Structure 1
Amino acid sequence: MAFNRRLSFIAEWYQEEAAIIRTFTICFFPTGNAIEVYDQQHKRTFLRRTKMPELSERDFFIGSKINIFGRQFDIVDYADDITKNTLDKYRKKTFLLLKNICIQQLGPLLCALIDSNFSINRALMVQFTPEQVKQFLSNKRNVEASSMLMNQLIGGPSMGFEVIADNAVQKMKLCKEQSKECSNDNTVAALVTLFEREETRIGIYCPQDEEEAEQDLNFFFNPKNGLQATLRLKNSTLGIIKPHCIKDG
């Protein structure tokens, strides 16, 4: 029955008082937006089925962080084959790189991603060195495009994103290419509008297929590659936007 449909995930919670990581099974019931949490270590229910209207199916994917009554749970794996087969087939990651020449489009890009049901999982602003650009471009098949990208990336700070959505790689690629397939899809209307401007299409890089997306993500977010964070501020303060505020717009 649709009412009993559930998605199950393995999640970890760091218990600060004991300095240990505890493992749980989180079940999400899309009908009614309810969750249930089971403590694997003590083999008992940690939280009975409870409605949480602030959560939705798109919040649950490997790598996401779920806040449940003040506790942050990290989703690390699927808990059963049904969930894996349901989500893994469609829920995909892709990489976006906002180049320095288009950095002023950061706000519109974030809004377009959220409005188009893309989840932003990771983001990092960096300054590439020429050697790092060569490493990043080493697996690119389009030599001419790679040469242009080289010049753009060493010209100033760039910002990379790991985003997740249904068929994310293909959907982003088609939106950027202004494909008719995406033009008729209201769910990505915000991205289609964003990419109508030629300077935006030039200023945002996205991979061509899932293999390239995986390579880009592994390179960009791997600390061993030594990408230098560019944020250096003086006489400033910090404002933190909490997740529930982002969801509320």
Structure 2
Amino acid sequence: MNTGVEDSTRYCFIAEWFDPQAALVRQYQLFFYPRDCSIEIFDLKTRRSFLKKTKYDAIKGSEYFVGNVINVYSRQMTLKEYGDEFTRKQLSTSQETTLAIIKPDATRFKGDILQAMSRDGFKVTQIQMCHLTKDQAGAFYAEHKGKPFFNNLVELMTSGCCIVMELMRPNAILRWRDLLGPTNTQQAQASAPNSIRARFGTDQTKNACHGSDSPESARRELEFFFPRDTSRSRAPANTARLSNSTLAVVKPQAVKDDQLAQIVKDIDAAGFNILALKSFNLEKSDCEEFLEVYKGVVNEYGDMVCEMSSGTCVALEIDAQGDPAKFRAFVGPADPEIARHLRPQTLRAKYGKSKVQNAVHVTDLVDDAPLEVEYFFRILSQ
């Protein structure tokens, strides 16, 4: 979001917050003032002020978009829709979304592809690793049924795991198509050698990635993988194995700082196999339950809960290779300062800021690994 605006500029959203005490979904009118990162909130039911205009720079301007979940003083609010026509006109084009798929033939390059997206200004707002069935692949590519390449395409898309993403940036649909390059890999290598398909594709079918070709296609395809009504969804399930594995969670601050791509690259380069991957926006109560083992043990427990519930995090199931402690050592000591002195090549040494914002949560106790993996990839994914 551009913050080079006049003092009077104000964006308005309709936001929802689930009140656990009353077991009610409450609606609010939320105003964001980009000039000084102030917010103001009104309760729509009581028509009273809920939060007076307050400077709140814990949330970046780029996080104010429809569909996102923001954390305001430990309350998770979902931005459901634009609150006025001015906001709609100003932000609907600058925050366009599109669907991206890293196809099975290119998932081994996922870190490089994520990095290319980040460098081109894309924000990954949702992500999941999945394995399509033949029926799901056929339904997704139904418009191509009867074409010569259809059967080969379905065969490719069901041959292994793929990674689906919702991407956001100004002019996202056309920009992602440009970054992909021509559909045929040979043509891409000839005319756009730096494009994703030129770098990671093989032919016209095994061409690394998919991208929506129009706003209508983007809406339909995003709904296929990231449905708004999950109770009636037939979206592909995650790929979690839920056995002989351990958990890593790229924390919200690291996601906001665009470190996901490099963390994934480092994990792959170290020889660890990512079995499942999925983005989450955790409620404070979920974080309290998940991190309960640290309650009364570490002084930072309350801050850890606030950090984990402060925005989008990305959970990864890692193949434990018979010993979860190996991956735990690769992540490094909880305190990044200590990690930088003792284990400078570990993830926390490279990407952590503090004991709370230390980039990656990892299962500490071997016996807890199955429970933590199941918590994210079975319980929270339902």
| Range class of TM-score, shorter chain | 0.7 to 0.9
Pick 1 or 2: higher relative contact order, CA cutoff 8 A, min separation 6.
1
Give the match for residue 234 of structure 2: 225
* Matching of residues 166-245 of structure 1 within 5 Å: 166-177=170-181, 194=196, 196-199=198-201, 202-222=207-227, 224-245=233-254
The amino acid that maps onto 2:207 is I
Residue 66 of structure 2 is aligned to residue 57 of structure 1: no
Give the match for residue 268 of structure 2: none
* Matching of residues 83-94 of structure 1 within 5 Å: 83-94=87-98
Q: Distance in 2 between matches of 1:130 and 1:141?
A: 13
The partner residue of 1:5 within 9, 13, 34 is 9
C-alpha offsets along residues 60-92 of structure 1, whole Å, 9 cap, x if unaligned?
Answer: 111101111211110000100100111113321
Bigger fraction of residues in strand: 1
Residue 2 of structure 1 aligns to a residue whose secondary structure is coil
Residue 101 of structure 1 aligns to a residue whose secondary structure is helix
Q: Whose radius of gyration is greater, 1 or 2? A: 2
Give the TM-score normalised by the residue count of structure 2.
Answer: 0.57
Deviation at residue 41 of structure 1 after TM alignment: 2.0
Distance 1:28 1:153, change over 3 A: same
Residues 106 and 200, structure 2, Cα contact 8 Å, conserved in 1: no
Q: Which runs of 5+ in 2 are unaligned?
A: 183-193, 260-382
The amino acid that maps onto 2:95 is R
Identity within the alignment, %: 27
The amino acid that maps onto 1:205 is H
Q: Distance in 1 between matches of 2:180 and 2:12?
A: 34
Compare 125-134 and 142-151 and name the one that shifted more. 142-151
Report the aligned-residue RMSD.
Answer: 2.4
Deviation at residue 193 of structure 1 after TM alignment: 6.3
Q: What count of residue pairs does the alignment treat as equivalent? A: 236
Give the match for residue 26 of structure 1: 30
* Matching of residues 150-161 of structure 1 within 5 Å: 150-161=154-165
Q: Distance in 2 between matches of 1:62 and 1:226?
A: 21
Q: Distance in 2 between matches of 1:226 and 1:209?
A: 21
Q: Distance in 1 between matches of 2:134 and 2:58?
A: 44
Q: Which runs of 5+ in 1 are unaligned?
A: 179-191
Distance 1:105 1:142, change over 3 A: farther
Deviation at residue 8 of structure 1 after TM alignment: 0.6
